[in-house]
Structure 1
Amino acid sequence: MTREQTRHSKAWYNALSRYYDVLIDPFQGRLRRRGIDSLRASPDDRVLDVGCGTGRGIVTLEHAVESEGHVVGIDVAEQMCRLAQDRLETEDPSAVVCGDAVALPFDSDSFDVVLVSFTLELFEDDHRTTVLGELRRVLEPGGRICVISPSATASDPIPLLYARLNEVFPTLVDSRPFDVSGVLAEAGFEIVQTHVERVLVVPIELVVARCGS
């Protein structure tokens, strides 16, 4: 996202935040939970949830890593972050960070596991490449990542229609379907698992991959 797009995205998701769990999560929650299961987080893993929204994924991940692990969520929308922090049992303010995935505010090799659920499609191609570089930087070599995003396939007209709607209504239809497994492979990730299913009529791709050395 450009700086202007980031500003509009923050405003949109701040406004949507109070309705997000009712309007959006019913369509995304099941795949997010499936992605978390696919990551097979261990009790002592350090986990990052990118685009954590209202924090439902953080709660599920905290149950997976138990008390020995550590989960951090990051989101660009301040109100989403507030709702996520309120949802958590911990009062640790570092559990939810308000920030941009283009420049993650974390040290290199900080995490064993990363979840990116319905977030990477919000970025244009060049910024998506930057985000993936940041994710590789903060992941330990051999670390695991799960990306869940609308998928673009040459044989399916729905992603093309979705992309066209994004051009006409960039705020309301803010996603850009892309070849999720292909983009991750180009960014240097080793693909472990792929799964595609439709949410409403849109094909969604769930990809689990490993971070190379």
Structure 2
Amino acid sequence: MTREQTRHSKAWYNTLSRYYDTLIDPFQGPLRRRGIDSLRVAPDDHVLAVGCGTGREIATLQNAVESRGRVVGIDVAEQMCHLAQDRLDEADAFAVICGDALALPFDSDRFDVVLVSFTLELFEADHRATVLEEIRRVLEPGGRICVISPSATASSIISPLYTRLNEAFPRLVDSRPFDVSAVLAEAGFEILQTQVEWALVVPVELVVARWES
């Protein structure tokens, strides 16, 4: 995702925000919750949700951390952030920030856990690597990441179809399925768990990995 694409993506998701929970979450929500379960978040973990959308995953993560923990969500679309903030309990331990995953506005070694749900596929390959580099930077050594994204390896039909649709309708079909496990391994993460699920007819990879500096 170039800076120009980021601008268009922000506009698109600002428009989509009011319909997102009705149209999209029924298909993505169960996989997000499964990913959160796989992360086994501890009560004192500091957790970052990249591409937090309307905040449903942050609300789920609230139940996994206690007073010693902290959950922060970041999204590029302002309207998504507003909806997410409205959903949260009024507490200092939970926050939503409007920002770009290409340059995460956090100190290094800040988080124990990072969730990237239906977000990394929005970036082109070189910018995807930059996002993962930023995530490595903000993760504590031994920190865990869960990436949930459409898979390019689980179906010989869906991925080429997505590619053609993305070329024809880049704003409407903005996902780029990829080999999630391979990309995380190439970025230096140790793969702990990989499973393939389905969102309607779309194969989705759910990968849990660990970062060791």
TM-score by length of 1: 0.97
1:94 positional shift: 7.1
Structure 1 partner of 2:206: 206
**Is residue 121–residue 176 contact of structure 1 (8 Å, CA) maintained in 2?**
yes
1:5-154 superposed matches below 5 A: 5-90=5-90, 92=92, 95-153=95-153
1:20 positional shift: 0.3
- The one-letter code sitting in structure 2 at the alignment partner of 1:196 is V
For residues 59 and 155 of structure 1, the distance between their equivalents in structure 2, rounded to whole angstroms, comes to: 32
1:118 positional shift: 0.1
1:3 positional shift: 1.1
For residues 155 and 77 of structure 2, the distance between their equivalents in structure 1, rounded to whole angstroms, comes to: 35
1:91 positional shift: 5.5
- Hey, which bits of structure 1, 4+ residues long, moved more than 4 A? 91-94
**Is residue 85–residue 91 contact of structure 1 (8 Å, CA) maintained in 2?**
no
Structure 1 partner of 2:191: 191
For residues 59 and 47 of structure 2, the distance between their equivalents in structure 1, rounded to whole angstroms, comes to: 12
Task: Specify every segment of 5 or more residues in structure 1 that has no aligned partner in the other structure, as ranges.
Answer: none
Give RMSD over aligned pairs: 1.3
Structure 2 partner of 1:3: 3
For residues 205 and 152 of structure 2, the distance between their equivalents in structure 1, rounded to whole angstroms, comes to: 9
Structure with the higher helix share, 1 or 2: 1
1:93 positional shift: 10
**Is residue 70–residue 93 contact of structure 2 (8 Å, CA) maintained in 1?**
no
For residues 16 and 47 of structure 2, the distance between their equivalents in structure 1, rounded to whole angstroms, comes to: 26
1:67 positional shift: 2.1
1:163 positional shift: 1.2
For residues 93 and 85 of structure 1, the distance between their equivalents in structure 2, rounded to whole angstroms, comes to: 12
Residues 43-98 of structure 1: CA distance to partner in whole angstroms, max 9, x if unpaired? 00000000000000001111101222000000000000000000001255970000
- The one-letter code sitting in structure 1 at the alignment partner of 2:68 is E
Which stretch has the larger CA shift, 91-100 or 193-202? 91-100
For residues 24 and 155 of structure 1, the distance between their equivalents in structure 2, rounded to whole angstroms, comes to: 21
For residues 179 and 162 of structure 1, the distance between their equivalents in structure 2, rounded to whole angstroms, comes to: 14
- The one-letter code sitting in structure 2 at the alignment partner of 1:188 is G
For residues 121 and 93 of structure 1, the distance between their equivalents in structure 2, rounded to whole angstroms, comes to: 29
For residues 91 and 8 of structure 1, the distance between their equivalents in structure 2, rounded to whole angstroms, comes to: 32
Structure 1 partner of 2:164: 164
For residues 128 and 5 of structure 2, the distance between their equivalents in structure 1, rounded to whole angstroms, comes to: 13
The alignment partner of 2:80 has SS state of helix
Aligned residues: 213
- The one-letter code sitting in structure 1 at the alignment partner of 2:76 is V
1:5 positional shift: 0.3
**Is residue 85–residue 93 contact of structure 1 (8 Å, CA) maintained in 2?**
no
For residues 4 and 66 of structure 2, the distance between their equivalents in structure 1, rounded to whole angstroms, comes to: 39
